[in-house]
Structure 1
Amino acid sequence: MKDRQFRFTALIFSFFLALVFLGQTVYGWQPGFQAGVSPLWKFFTSFLGHSGPEHLFNNIFFIALFGSIYELMTDEKTLMGTFLISALVGNLTAFIFFPNSVIIGASGGAVGILAALAVYRPNKIGLVFGVPAPMWVVLLGYIALNLLGLGAENNVAYEAHLFGMFAGAAVGLYLRNSEERAQEDSENDLEEEEWRDRIRRWEEKWMM
């Protein structure tokens, strides 16, 4: 990745999510989506709202921490694109598994960012349950946590979290493969240029 300016996009977006929750609390606006009840456009606002302060804090933590690291490794467009893809996949999964429930929360996008970072830069240090660890360990830890939560009787859509992670991991893999291909192309170009330079020197010495 070429040099670029860090724009604090993850922190700004986290602040925006907090403002949306403030609007929910003060004005009673409900961005959640319920099939057959809510207008379709609310499916796309559902990942901006939250069901409570703890729900909001957890997602802001993931986005602010892992999103900032991810933004440093990529750029703000990649960060927000990864969030959007993961959030949509996560909420679609929640809609499939819980068609009669209200879908709300940025969790699918938040964990998608974590997964993308873990696949793209697996040895980068992050936090898992408050303990510093390589990102691949962080990802495995949160996958295990969500797998253990499957089937539990609560309001947490663990299925949406897992599919959000899968979507984010796919984005991270794409970024990693693209970077490796670009590096290989650059090395091939350098090697080709080196051979051209050798041939040119040989021609200058023996044929001119």
Structure 2
Amino acid sequence: MDKIPQIPFSLYFCTFLIFVYALQLFTGFDPGFQAYESHPVNFFLSFFGHSDAEHLFNNIFFLGLFGTVFELITSRKTFIYTFLASAIFANITAFIFYTDSYIIGASGGAMGVLSALAVYRPRKIGLALGIPVPMYIVLAVYVMINLAGIGSGTGTAYEAHLFGLLTGSLIGIWMKDFEFDEEDGSEEKLGEDNWDEKIRRWEEKYML
């Protein structure tokens, strides 16, 4: 009997983000964070709230698409750690660029997942503005969009997005030393001296 495919955690996480947004709408729950003003717990709660429906659905798209692919080729644990690490470093921008305003949203974490996937599997096909292209092009497009948006006054935290992208990229570089079993999510670290195996696996991923 064929094994029933497990639903990726990233899709459950998207459902959780919808639930949090419903709480915001119907109960007045406010997970936004303002540096030096909000309760410290809001620094973390703000990862899961959103400013409006468009903001929410944009992040669900990123996490549902790139998050699912990333999770399936690595592991549930890696997806969670990557999202949280990227979101934390993205929110640090509140103390630098947004001291007088609230920040909210999963965008920093979502951008980190995107960039980790792009660096770890640069030739994997993704979507950039609706066009199927390799992930390294997807990453370049979103880096340029966010760089261009700095100082635009649109209310979007482009600096936070860039911090998330940077964090995810560093995680992707670190992951180059790991080989993930896509069946059970286990991981194997390739030793520093095992260069023949590293080269063989690199060729299989990117050249063959």
TM-score of the superposition, structure 2-length normalised?
A: 0.84
Does residue 185 of structure 1 match 2:191? no
In the alignment, what sits opposite 1:130?
130
Counterpart contact for 1:48–1:105, Cα < 8 Å: yes
Counterpart contact for 1:95–1:103, Cα < 8 Å: no
Cα drift, residue 77 of structure 1: 0.3
Alignment partners' CA distance in 2, 1:186 and 1:6:
34
Counterpart contact for 1:24–1:30, Cα < 8 Å: yes
Alignment partners' CA distance in 1, 2:93 and 2:7:
31
In the alignment, what sits opposite 2:139?
139
Alignment partners' CA distance in 2, 1:67 and 1:37:
32
Q: Which runs of 5+ in 2 are unaligned?
A: 180-187, 198-208
Q: Deviations over 1:109-158 (max 9, x none)?
A: 00100000000000000000000000000000000100110110111010
Alignment partners' CA distance in 1, 2:63 and 2:108:
11
Higher gyration radius (CA): 1
Q: Deviations over 1:38-75 (max 9, x none)?
A: 21111110111000000000011000100000001100
Alignment partners' CA distance in 1, 2:111 and 2:48:
14
Cα drift, residue 187 of structure 1: 4.8
Summarize the alignment of residues 1-208 of structure 1 with structure 2, pairs less than 5 Å apart.
Answer: 6-179=6-179, 182=190, 185=194, 187=196
User: Equivalent pairs: percent with the same residue?
Assistant: 51
Q: Which amino acid aligns with 1:148?
A: A
Q: Deviations over 1:167-204 (max 9, x none)?
A: 0000011001344961863857xxxxxxxxxxxxxxxx
Decide which structure has greater helix share: 1
Residue correspondences, number: 184
Q: Which amino acid aligns with 1:81?
A: Y
Alignment partners' CA distance in 1, 2:70 and 2:124:
10
Alignment partners' CA distance in 2, 1:102 and 1:28:
16
Alignment partners' CA distance in 2, 1:115 and 1:64:
15
Q: Which amino acid aligns with 1:129?
A: L
TM-score of the superposition, structure 1-length normalised?
A: 0.84
Alignment partners' CA distance in 1, 2:72 and 2:137:
20
Q: Which runs of 5+ in 1 are unaligned?
A: 189-208
CA RMSD in angstroms comes to: 1.8
Greater than 6 Å deviation, 4+ residue runs: none
